[in-house]
């Protein structure tokens, strides 16, 4: 099998070296070049034709976002964003994922010293994604639902997503009316990134979207995003359904874990819930979605054609957790049609 050819772009020689050393440990990956700024990177992409590019957000001469926009417009490329754990970098990374970056990783820090442990896995997953799929990704192409007459039937909605989830969640929530069903989301992301993502969703969507806090009551018109890297999001009863943040070890290699969320929803809400599994690598959420379906919940999976990575939806479908599969542009409308009173 041919090695995945990677170009590393970062203004720090130390960081370029760390990324290269990390990737070279995997025999399936070959680092074919390095670049210190977007101008060097542009020439390297032309001459080396890499399968995947790792791209720093903060660089001299032209920032990573501007460069990514040019790449995606002129020469669609599989890109993994490498970002510092700062609020501004996290916000820029969310924008990069909207533009078309495949996924993101955080640079190692005291808060997340092992952030590169999944870098090689993400590189190989990016290389396997059809370039046509990356080139054709568009936000906002969604079948609109008449939301003015929507009235929730009282069910809660639980959504799990990973790689490709920024695009998927923006597309789905673009359908949601101001009085949408109480919705809880676990999206695999590094620390700080989910706060920026929730703020982005809150700006562009009609419901109130926020990062989940411990004890927050689930209310219509509110969407709660699990905090990345810090804790698992669960749902519990106690004066109504509430968010619970559980500081516990990773499950399926993730914290927050989709399985943890789905299992808690199955236990406390059962048939009064609807579960959705979206694009992502691995199988987190498969067993939890099956538990939801077995408890009487309606369950939905994103189909293969519209998934950036058909890993989690496939695992959930093959296990029996997914009752129906839909393309991404139809899932928001399906959620509302199912939960409309």
Q: Looking at the structure, tell me whether residues 266 and 298 fall in a common domain.
A: yes
Beta bridge partners of 186: 160
Per the rule left: phi > 0, alpha: psi between -120 and 50, beta: everything else, 327 is beta
Catalytic residue among 91, 152, 162, 196: 162
What predicted TM-score, i.e. pTM, was given to this entire model? 0.92
Helices (H), 118-184: 119-128, 131-136, 165-173
DSSP-assigned letters across all residues of 235-270 = EE-SSS-EEEEE----BTTBSS-HHHHHHHHHHHTG
Per DSSP (E only), the strands in 188-327 are: 208-211, 222-225, 232-236, 242-246, 273-277, 298-302, 324-326
Q: Is 162 a catalytic residue?
A: yes
Host H or E run for residue 5: strand 4-9
Question: In this structure, what are the phi and psi dihedrals at residue 112, rounded to the nearest 5 degrees?
Answer: -145, 75
Q: Is residue 143 part of a domain?
A: no
Indicate whether 151 belongs to any domain: no
Look at residue 63 and tell me if it is in a domain. Answer: yes
**144 found inside a domain:** no
Residue 145 in any domain: the answer is: no
Q: Among 51, 56, 284, 303, which one carries the catalytic annotation?
A: 284
Same domain, 207 and 301: yes
Catalytic entry in 51, 83, 91, 188: 188
* CA 151/CA 124 separation, integer angstroms: 44
pLDDT in 10s for each residue of the chain, 341 residues = 689 999 999 999 999 999 999 999 999 999 999 999 999 999 999 999 999 999 998 888 788 899 999 999 999 999 999 998 888 889 999 999 999 999 999 998 776 777 898 999 999 999 999 887 777 654 444 444 455 689 999 999 999 999 999 999 999 998 899 999 999 999 999 888 999 999 999 999 999 999 999 999 999 999 999 999 889 999 999 889 999 999 999 999 999 999 999 999 999 999 999 999 999 999 999 999 999 999 999 999 999 999 999 999 999 999 999 999 999 999 999 999 999 99
Cβ burial, residue 5 (10 Å; 0-12/13-18/19+): middle
Domain count, the chain: 2
Q: Domain for residue 271, yes or no?
A: yes
- Whether 51 is catalytic is no
Dihedral (CA of 48, 92, 185, 228) sign = positive
Task: Please indicate, yes or no, whether residues 187 and 288 belong to a single structural domain of this protein.
Answer: yes
Domain with 245 in it: 156-339
93 and 194 in a single domain? The answer is no
Both 317 and 193 in one domain: the answer is yes
Q: Is 88 a catalytic residue?
A: no
């Amino acid at each position: 099998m041919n090695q995945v050819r990677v170009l590393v772009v970062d203004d720090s020689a130390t960081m370029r070296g760390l990324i290269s050393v990390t990737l070279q440990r995997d025999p399936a990956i070959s680092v074919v070049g390095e670049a210190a700024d977007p101008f060097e990177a542009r020439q390297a992409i032309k001459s080396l034709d890499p399968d995947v590019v790792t791209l720093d957000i903060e660089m001299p001469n032209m920032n990573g976002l501007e460069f990514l926009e040019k790449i995606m417009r002129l020469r669609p490329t599989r890109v993994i964003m490498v970002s510092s754990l700062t609020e501004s970098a996290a916000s820029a990374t969310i924008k990069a994922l909207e533009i078309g970056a495949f996924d993101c990783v955080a640079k190692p820090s005291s808060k997340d010293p092992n952030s590169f442990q999944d870098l090689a896995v993400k590189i190989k997953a990016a290389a396997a994604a059809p370039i046509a799929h990356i080139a054709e990704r568009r936000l906002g192409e969604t079948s609109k639902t008449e939301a003015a007459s929507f009235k929730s039937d009282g069910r809660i909605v639980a959504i799990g997503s990973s790689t490709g989830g920024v695009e998927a969640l923006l597309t789905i929530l673009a359908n949601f009316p101001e009085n949408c069903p109480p919705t809880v989301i676990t999206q695999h992301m590094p620390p700080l990134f989910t706060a920026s993502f929730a703020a982005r969703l809150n700006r562009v969507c009609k419901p109130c979207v926020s990062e989940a806090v411990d004890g927050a009551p689930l209310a219509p018109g509110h969407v709660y995003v699990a905090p990345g890297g810090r804790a698992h999001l669960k749902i519990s009863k106690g004066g109504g359904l509430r968010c619970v943040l559980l500081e516990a070890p990773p499950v399926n290699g993730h914290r927050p874990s989709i399985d943890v969320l789905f299992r808690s929803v199955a236990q406390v809400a059962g048939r009064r819930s609807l579960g959705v599994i979206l694009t992502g690598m691995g199988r987190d959420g498969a067993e939890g979605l099956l538990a939801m379906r077995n408890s009487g919940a309606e369950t939905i999976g994103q189909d293969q054609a519209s998934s950036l990575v058909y890993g989690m939806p496939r695992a959930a479908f093959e296990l029996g957790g997914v009752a129906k599969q839909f393309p991404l542009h139809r899932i928001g409308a399906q959620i509302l049609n199912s939960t409309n009173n």
